[in-house]
């Protein structure tokens, strides 16, 4: 298969504001790729360009080797698009949402109906087939939006914040579904605020901030490259004046705690205690992509 | 073309639960007008003196109302409803993630409104016949002209709605369009009296705008008037031109509204 996405210097401006600032991106067939970044990083703007709906301002973009400006319909024929908003049709029932959408891809009524039944099973919405969309919970609507996007058996599925706003149980159900897609060899491009989501689903990811890519690689690579293996989180009483700088450790001060980057959390903790800097509470954990983002930008992903 | 068909199918399916209500109101509404204006006001009109060229006032006003109603449908459907579909309703925003293009979407959008005017006009033939108004077999063509009158308004006004949405503007211009453009056009459409009765300036405004052409053509198809073949073609050409120009503009503004 052709490369699902190849972008070079991809840029999107709105007036004199640059939302996407010259990013390079290539995604290989079967790959599961995430864009991680805070609000306003330019994730959705990138997604909308890839979905061919939003024209690119400059740079180059090829989807399956085709130019979105010229071959929009042929590209969209092979895409599954789950936008940040569900954009479901409230005037239609659950199953009709999939059927009538499927018709645009040239499915006969019979095929569209069979496909809809299959996808409702996949999305665990069989018993809601004839319900009004407005009666669904947030998680159900999201699953329906994803099911609808799969009606044309897409080669590339775009998921803009698939699980934002869902409770943990609904998120895990969705992750499982997306994982199944990935196993089937579908190429996935997803955006997320959540590092655990990127770690769960992505083979490779880019960290975006202010319209640029600040880091890219596999989750484990990024952690190895930008932070240490473990993080020691310590808290001191607000009035305590503890000098950690002189220990020569890599630190990040947050409002309520201090993060210490170390390859051996326990050993560093012992060091703190031995030097009379015993914190009021402490926690050793594995470093995550959240730490990578913090290390790269000095800010947290989810405020 | 098949994509357009799927668009119509989608729109039909969304509205099918309210379609019967649409048809009933398509009957009852004009019937009220025919009774109220055609018969009620008609009783006060000296048709001979007014030189309307028809036997009864209701014969004059009845056909004209078909075109005027089509204009109203074309205009009202192109404002809030269209903006909502472009912004938060799932129908248009998700339709353009399929092979359907935004230009096709616009053509589908405007022609769907035209189709509804066609249904409305066809249903309206029933009260027209009940009142014994039609005189010509070409009456059956009148609903198609009503549809074209609707698109002559729907295309440009929907294009405007697309522009408003693409600029992120509020919809404050919408009530103004209805009050300051559509309502006067309704009154100056030639549906109720010949536009030659208007002051010269207004008469020319009426001639330039599409609704009068729809009214004259519909009337000429339903009853015997002095409308010539060439005159009829001219009316048709004006309606087609407004529709076509509106489609060109709308394809652009819908593209911007859905894809910034
Ligand atoms: N149509 C638009 N007109 C003007 N500015 C826009 C438009 N769309 C997006 N922006 C701006 O571009 C920037 C990037 O927006 P984008 O939606 O791509 O961010 P994002 O990474 O998806 O953020 P979020 O996590 O909040 O969804 C933001 O500052 C946003 O305000
Ligand atoms: Mg976004």
* Sequence spans of domains, chain A: 5-218, 228-286
Structure tokens at A17: 């504001």
Q: Is A206 at the interface with chain B, CB within 8 A?
A: no
Structure tokens at A86: 């569900």
- Our CA-based measurement puts residue B85 at a distance from the nearest CA of chain A, in whole angstroms, of 10
Among the partner residues A76, A83, A85, nearest to B98 by beta-carbon distance: A76
Q: Which residues share a beta bridge with A70? A: none
Dihedral of alpha carbons A208, A214, A218, A221, sign: negative
Structure tokens at A186: 């579908």
Comparing alpha-carbon positions, the chain B residue that sits nearest to A74 is B99
Mean pLDDT computed over every residue of chain B? 91
- B226 vs B144, residue with greater confidence: B144
- Which chain B positions have a beta carbon within 8 Å of A152's beta carbon? 98
Q: Is B22 at the interface with chain A, CB within 8 A?
A: no
In chain A, what is the straight-line distance between the N-terminal and C-terminal CA atoms, in Å? Answer: 40
Q: Which residues share a beta bridge with A253? A: A258
Atom of ligand 1 nearest to the CA of A84: 27
- Nearest ligand, CA B167: 1
Structure tokens at A274: 């031995």
Comparing alpha-carbon positions, the chain A residue that sits nearest to B10 is A100
* pLDDT at residue A74, rounded to an integer: 96
Domain A5-218 - what CATH class?
alpha beta
Mean pLDDT computed over every residue of chain A? 91
Main-chain dihedrals φ then ψ at residue B198, nearest 5 degrees: -80, 160
Q: What is the mean pLDDT of residues A182-203?
A: 89
- A245 vs A79, residue with greater confidence: A79
- A149 vs B25, residue with greater confidence: A149
Confidence bin at B254 (pLDDT 50/70/90): very high
pTM of the predicted model as reported, rounded to 2 decimal places:
0.89
Specify the DSSP class assigned to residue B132.
T
Cα separations in angstroms, A63 against A200, A203, B104 = 25, 19, 22
Domain ranges of chain B: 2-258
**Whether B246 contacts B159, CB under 8 Å:** yes
Q: What is the mean pLDDT of residues B49-61?
A: 83
Q: What is the mean pLDDT of residues A151-160?
A: 96
Q: Residue B220: enclosing H or E segment and its boundaries? A: helix B210-222
- Our CA-based measurement puts residue B23 at a distance from the nearest CA of chain A, in whole angstroms, of 19
Optimal mutation site among B97, B112, B255, interface A, most CBs of chain A within 10 A: B97
* pLDDT at residue A210, rounded to an integer: 93
Among the partner residues A92, A105, A148, nearest to B99 by beta-carbon distance: A105
Distance of CA A299 to the CA centre of its chain: 18
Atom of ligand 1 nearest to the CA of A47: 18
Distance of CA A57 to the CA centre of its chain: 23
Half-sphere CA count of A32, side-chain side, radius 13 A: 19
Rg (CA), chain A: 22
Comparing alpha-carbon positions, the chain A residue that sits nearest to B1 is A104
- Our CA-based measurement puts residue A115 at a distance from the nearest CA of chain B, in whole angstroms, of 16
- Residues at Cβ < 5 Å from ligand 2 ion: A 43-44, 84
pLDDT of residue A199 exceeding 90, the answer is no
Confidence bin at A158 (pLDDT 50/70/90): very high
* pLDDT at residue B33, rounded to an integer: 84
Q: What is the mean pLDDT of residues B22-28?
A: 75
Pocket of ligand 1 (CB under 6 A): A 14, 17, 19, 37, 39-45, 84; B 260
Measured CA to CA, the distance from residue B164 to residue A202 in angstroms comes to 39
Q: Is A148 at the interface with chain B, CB within 8 A?
A: yes
* Three-state DSSP class for residue B92: helix
pLDDT digits (tens, 9 = 90+) for B195-242: 888 899 999 988 999 999 999 999 999 999 989 999 999 999 999 999
Q: Which residues share a beta bridge with A261? A: A231, A250
| Ligand 1 atom 1: residue of nearest CA | B260
pLDDT of residue B169 exceeding 90, the answer is no
Pocket test for ligand 1, best of A10, A44, A213, A300 (most atoms within 8 A of CB): A44
* pLDDT at residue A44, rounded to an integer: 95
Cβ contact, residue pair B259, A105, below 8 Å: no
* pLDDT at residue A302, rounded to an integer: 66
- Nearest ligand, CA A13: 1
CB within 8 Å of chain A, chain B residues 135-194: none
Q: Return the minimum-mean-pLDDT range out of A284-298, B75-89, B93-107.
A: A284-298
- Which chain B positions have a beta carbon within 8 Å of A105's beta carbon? 98-99
pLDDT of residue A54 exceeding 90, the answer is yes
* pLDDT at residue A303, rounded to an integer: 58
Cβ contact, residue pair B13, A86, below 8 Å: no
pLDDT of residue A23 exceeding 90, the answer is yes
For residue A39, how far is its CA from the centre of ligand 2 (angstroms)?
A: 7
Measured CA to CA, the distance from residue A259 to residue A262 in angstroms comes to 9
Among the partner residues A14, A81, A152, nearest to B260 by beta-carbon distance: A14
**Whether B257 contacts B166, CB under 8 Å:** yes
Cβ contact, residue pair A104, B99, below 8 Å: yes
Which residues in A50-83 are b (16+ Cβ under 10 Å) and which e?
Answer: bbbbbbbeebebbbbebebeebbeebbbbbbbbb
Measured CA to CA, the distance from residue A75 to residue A238 in angstroms comes to 57
Q: Is B103 at the interface with chain A, CB within 8 A?
A: no
- Residue reference for tokens 């925003």: B93
For residue A278, how far is its CA from the centre of ligand 1 (angstroms)?
A: 44
Highest mean predicted confidence (pLDDT) among A37-51, A167-181, A253-267, B191-205: A37-51
Q: Rounded to 10 degrees, what is the CA torsion of A123, A128, A130, A132?
A: -100
Specify the DSSP class assigned to residue B89.
S
Q: Is A54 at the interface with chain B, CB within 8 A?
A: yes
């Amino acid at each position: 298969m052709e490369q699902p996405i190849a972008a070079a210097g991809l840029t999107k401006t709105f007036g004199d504001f640059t939302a996407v600032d010259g990013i390079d991106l290539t995604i290989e067939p079967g790959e599961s790729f995430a864009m991680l970044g805070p609000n306003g990083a330019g994730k959705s703007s990138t997604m909308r360009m890839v979905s061919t709906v939003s024209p690119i301002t400059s740079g180059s973009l090829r989807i399956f080797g085709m130019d979105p400006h010229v071959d929009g319909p042929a590209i969209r024929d092979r895409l599954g698009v789950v936008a940040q908003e569900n954009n479901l049709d409230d005037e239609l029932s659950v199953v009709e949402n999939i059927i009538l959408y499927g018709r645009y891809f040239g499915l006969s009524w019979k095929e569209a109906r069979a496909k809809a039944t299959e996808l409702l099973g996949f999305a665990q919405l069989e018993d809601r087939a004839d319900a009004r969309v407005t009666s669904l919970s947030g998680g159900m609507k999201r699953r329906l939006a994803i099911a609808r996007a799969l009606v044309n058996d897409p080669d590339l599925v775009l998921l803009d914040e698939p699980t934002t706003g869902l409770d943990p149980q609904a998120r895990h159900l969705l992750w499982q579904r997306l994982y199944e897609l990935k196993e089937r060899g579908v190429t996935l491009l997803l955006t997320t605020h959540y590092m655990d989501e990127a770690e769960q689903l992505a083979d490779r990811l880019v960290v975006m901030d202010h319209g640029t890519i600040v880091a890219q690689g596999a989750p484990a690579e990024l952690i190895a490259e930008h932070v240490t293996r473990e993080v020691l989180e310590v808290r001191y009483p607000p009035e305590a004046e503890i000098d950690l700088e002189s220990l020569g450790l890599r630190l990040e001060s947050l409002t309520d705690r201090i993060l210490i980057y170390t390859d051996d959390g326990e050993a560093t903790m012992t060091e703190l205690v031995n030097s009379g800097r015993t914190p009021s509470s402490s926690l050793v954990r594995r470093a995550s992509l959240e730490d990578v983002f913090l290390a790269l930008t000095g800010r947290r992903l989810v405020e | 073309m098949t994509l357009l068909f799927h668009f119509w199918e989608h729109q039909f399916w969304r509205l099918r639960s309210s379609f019967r209500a649409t048809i009933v109101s398509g009957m009852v509404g004009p019937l009220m007008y025919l009774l109220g204006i055609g018969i009620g006001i008609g009783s006060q009109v000296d048709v001979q003196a007014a030189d309307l060229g028809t036997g009864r006032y209701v014969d004059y006003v009845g056909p004209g109302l078909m075109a005027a109603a089509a204009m109203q449908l074309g205009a009202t459907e192109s404002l809030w409803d269209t903006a909502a579909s472009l912004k938060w309703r799932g129908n248009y925003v998700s339709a353009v993630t399929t092979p359907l293009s935004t230009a096709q979407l616009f053509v589908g959008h405007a022609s769907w409104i035209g189709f509804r005017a066609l249904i409305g006009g066809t249903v309206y033939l029933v009260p027209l016949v009940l009142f014994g108004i039609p005189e010509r077999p070409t009456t059956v063509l009148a609903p198609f002209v009503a549809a074209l009158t609707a698109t002559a308004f729907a295309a440009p006004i929907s294009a405007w709605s697309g522009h408003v949405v693409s600029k992120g503007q509020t919809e404050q211009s919408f009530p103004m369009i209805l009050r300051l453009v559509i309502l006067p056009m309704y009154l100056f459409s030639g549906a109720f009296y010949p536009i030659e009765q208007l002051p010269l300036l207004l008469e020319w405004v009426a001639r330039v705008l599409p609704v009068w052409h729809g009214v004259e053509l519909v009337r000429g198809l339903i009853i015997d008037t002095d409308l010539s073949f060439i005159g009829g073609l001219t009316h048709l050409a004006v309606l087609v031109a407004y529709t076509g120009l509106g489609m060109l503009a709308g394809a652009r503004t819908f593209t911007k509204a859905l894809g910034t």
